[in-house]
A and B are shown apart, each in its own frame.
Chain A
């Protein structure tokens, strides 16, 4: 708990700093009122989205599957034309200057998209060559990642494990020293250890001055970004630092646990004084209507309902709580 608080304080300081910082820094990515619809306008994948990313920032797009993250990435990497709105990467317009953008950005699609029948080494060489550079020239940038791949360098890319594939894809996206790196759900389907490693790598890349946009459906990864945008159904619900987003959480949050969790959820949801109740692992996260109900009252009422081993505590909201709350309010 202590360490958590310490982290929050750090985050707070950092958040203030980065707010000041972002006011003066160069904008690497700007998105203005982008709209993209599919099926002749039936499905609005991206609905009036605007945001900015400063130089050297690690920016996260957080949202469930189908929220429009990939569409935004594809627009920014010039693979998709927006229906309306403008966007620029590194000062270049995504529609007019698409050729310049393609030389300067790195893109790692959500699906593994390297040549499975070429070896690790060949893939890396290939991508270096098409960007008119060599592996040796930018080796320092990928060195930390590539050393882990080195033992398998003659292996076909298709025969690598999931985590290794991701590392190779990241190397290939980095080999031409891009100014902005787009990572579309890089950690989806990757084990916990590899995910952690992956985020460590992103942090070290950030220190090299590369601006990174990353999308993820995992809320726990949100706190690892400097700024996050929470998206749902193609619209941005909130953009801020993770700390500020948590701070903006309007209610006091409680975690509730008892012996029969299924029945507990029903009981809580049927209680008119409970505003929201979501299941989070071992606990149900609960907010109260207008803060009327006191914690003690809730304990008594639940005990009367026959719940044993009752445990209730006040907690700091997580990004997921904020996400659920924002979704509920919509």
Chain B
């Protein structure tokens, strides 16, 4: 016990004396938490649209003003040739083309039927999909308006219509940051845990101090605990700073769920993650190697964690990879507890998690 206490004291001394590492641990997460959620915004605004109007009628004018008034679209170009509009897309000045055919108003009035043409630049899939969908919605609204206008005359027989009103739960204003902040917080803890732990142990290998330690009566578990506990504490500290200072005062996110459950889960998660760091450190001899291996894992963990893309919409094989990924669970848990007041039985992930942490810990121990 005395040995462990001394190992911990030594470890903290070393961490706090490392002038290069200290800001990385304590300042970088706060800055990232301030920048990333503001930048990583999924709401698509300011889509540039080119409108090709062959009709120049009242109806076409009405449609155009409805499109531009929606707030989603900026009129980049208004002309009467599709080729001209397409050039705008090629120059990347516009994302969408709406072509209104000649005789739009006439055909609509006479035959109650007309076709519009929409061309979308689909290089950015999200923008294309959302832009197309917004436009389609505006057009169908417009369509309804026209129908209402005509049908008003037949007051006795109104057209039955289903109106949809939605109510947004847990994030009533559809604030994207509410979704991103807990996720990014989870990722930051992941990075700090895995990187710092792996690098720290490999550093002992690099400087040869591990040799010196090996010839002492320090037991393996003491050495491992001496390495894990400091980063476990630092991880929890950073998470708390992120949650109670940055998320609370900058983004106004107040966790609604049980803090005890959140911290309990995080304690377990950090053990798993530090275990991964430990495992990586046993395979690498230099900090450079450790850095590369950790980077590889963190990259996969992050992109397959549901931070940016929903894992439910992944292909089946990818879904299963994501299900093996501890970060997936942690992000989910943090989001659910912070935003939704989830309780333990909502979380199916505990067994998976325990499994992961046991395996990595065991391997790490074995190799060291």
Contact A113-B217, Cβ < 8 Å, known A118-B10, A122-B13, A126-B6: no
A129 close to chain B: CB less than 8 A: yes
Which residues of chain B are near A111, meaning CB under 8 Å? 208
Q: Contact: B10 with A126, CB < 8 Å? A: yes
Q: Contact: A130 with B217, CB < 8 Å? A: yes
Contact A132-B217, Cβ < 8 Å, known A109-B212, A117-B14: yes
B2 close to chain A: CB less than 8 A: yes
CB-based nearest B residue for A78? B215
A51 close to chain B: CB less than 8 A: no
Which residues of chain B are near A130, meaning CB under 8 Å? 3, 6-7, 213, 216-218
A102 close to chain B: CB less than 8 A: yes
Which residues of chain B are near A106, meaning CB under 8 Å? 215
Task: Render B1-18 as a binary contact track against A, CB cut-off 8 A, 1 for contact.
Answer: 011001100100110011
Chain B proximity of A52: nearest CB distance (Å): 22
Contact A113-B207, Cβ < 8 Å, known A78-B215, A129-B2, A130-B3: yes
Which residues of chain A are near B124, meaning CB under 8 Å? none
Chain B proximity of A62: nearest CB distance (Å): 23
Q: Which of A78, A102, A105, A115 lies in contact with B209, CB distance below 8 A?
A: A115
Which residues of chain A are near B13, meaning CB under 8 Å? 117-118, 122
B114 close to chain A: CB less than 8 A: no
Which residues of chain A are near B352, meaning CB under 8 Å? none
CB-based nearest B residue for A100? B217
Which residues of chain A are near B18, meaning CB under 8 Å? 117
Complexed CA–CA distance, A132 and B5 (Å): 12
B32 close to chain A: CB less than 8 A: no
Q: Contact: A127 with B208, CB < 8 Å? A: no
Chain A proximity of B146: nearest CB distance (Å): 76
CB-based nearest B residue for A113? B208
Contact A79-B217, Cβ < 8 Å, known A126-B10, A130-B6: no
A218 close to chain B: CB less than 8 A: no
B141 close to chain A: CB less than 8 A: no
Q: Contact: A115 with B14, CB < 8 Å? A: yes
Q: Contact: A132 with B14, CB < 8 Å? A: no
Complexed CA–CA distance, A112 and B14 (Å): 17
B211 close to chain A: CB less than 8 A: yes
Complexed CA–CA distance, A131 and B217 (Å): 6
Which residues of chain A are near B211, meaning CB under 8 Å? 79, 107, 109, 113
B214 close to chain A: CB less than 8 A: yes
Complexed CA–CA distance, A286 and B341 (Å): 91
Task: Render A81-124 as a binary contact track against B, CB cut-off 8 A, 1 for contact.
Answer: 00000000000000000010011011101011111111000100
A77 close to chain B: CB less than 8 A: yes
Chain A proximity of B3: nearest CB distance (Å): 6
Which residues of chain A are near B213, meaning CB under 8 Å? 130
Complexed CA–CA distance, A116 and B6 (Å): 17
Q: By the criterion of a CB under 8 Å from any partner CB, how many residues of chain A are at the interface?
A: 26
Q: By the criterion of a CB under 8 Å from any partner CB, how many residues of chain B are at the interface?
A: 20
Contact A114-B209, Cβ < 8 Å, known A77-B215, A131-B216, A132-B217: yes
Q: Contact: B212 with A107, CB < 8 Å? A: yes
Which residues of chain A are near B7, meaning CB under 8 Å? 130
Which residues of chain B are near A102, meaning CB under 8 Å? 214-217
Task: Render A161-185 as a binary contact track against B, CB cut-off 8 A, 1 for contact.
Answer: 0000000000010000000000000
Q: Which of A103, A112, A126 lies in contact with B217, CB distance below 8 A?
A: A103
CB-based nearest A residue for B223? A130
Q: Which of A105, A112, A118, A122 lies in contact with B215, CB distance below 8 A?
A: A105
Which residues of chain A are near B207, meaning CB under 8 Å? 113, 115-116
Complexed CA–CA distance, A328 and B86 (Å): 86
Which residues of chain B are near A112, meaning CB under 8 Å? 208
Complexed CA–CA distance, A49 and B212 (Å): 25
Complexed CA–CA distance, A103 and B216 (Å): 6
Chain A proximity of B212: nearest CB distance (Å): 4
Q: Which of B3, B17, B208 lies in contact with A109, CB distance below 8 A?
A: B208
CB-based nearest A residue for B18? A117
Interface set, chain B 195-244, CB cutoff 8 A to A: 207-209, 211-218
Chain A proximity of B108: nearest CB distance (Å): 78
Complexed CA–CA distance, A122 and B12 (Å): 13
CB-based nearest A residue for B10? A126
Complexed CA–CA distance, A313 and B218 (Å): 58
CB-based nearest B residue for A99? B217
Interface set, chain A 116-170, CB cutoff 8 A to B: 116-118, 122, 126-127, 129-132
Contact A132-B208, Cβ < 8 Å, known A102-B216, A105-B215: no
Q: Contact: A115 with B10, CB < 8 Å? A: yes
Task: Render A203-244 as a binary contact track against B, CB cut-off 8 A, 1 for contact.
Answer: 000000000000000000000000000000000000000000
CB-based nearest A residue for B6? A129
Complexed CA–CA distance, A122 and B16 (Å): 15
In order of increasing CB-CB distance, the 4 nearest A-B pairs are A113-B208, A107-B215, A129-B6, A113-B212
Can you pick out 18 interface pairs between chain A and chain B where the beta carbons lie within 8 Å of each other? Answer: A77-B215, A78-B214, A78-B215, A102-B214, A105-B215, A106-B215, A109-B208, A109-B212, A113-B209, A115-B10, A116-B207, A117-B13, A117-B14, A118-B10, A118-B14, A126-B6, A127-B216, A130-B7
16 additional contacts (CB under 8 A) given A109-B212, A117-B13, A131-B217: A77-B215, A99-B217, A102-B214, A102-B215, A103-B217, A106-B215, A107-B211, A107-B212, A115-B10, A115-B14, A116-B207, A118-B10, A118-B13, A127-B212, A130-B218, A132-B3
Q: Which residues of A contact B (CB under 8 A)?
A: 77-79, 99, 102-103, 105-107, 109, 111-118, 122, 126-127, 129-132, 172
Q: Which residues of B contact A (CB under 8 A)?
A: 2-3, 6-7, 10, 13-14, 17-18, 207-209, 211-218
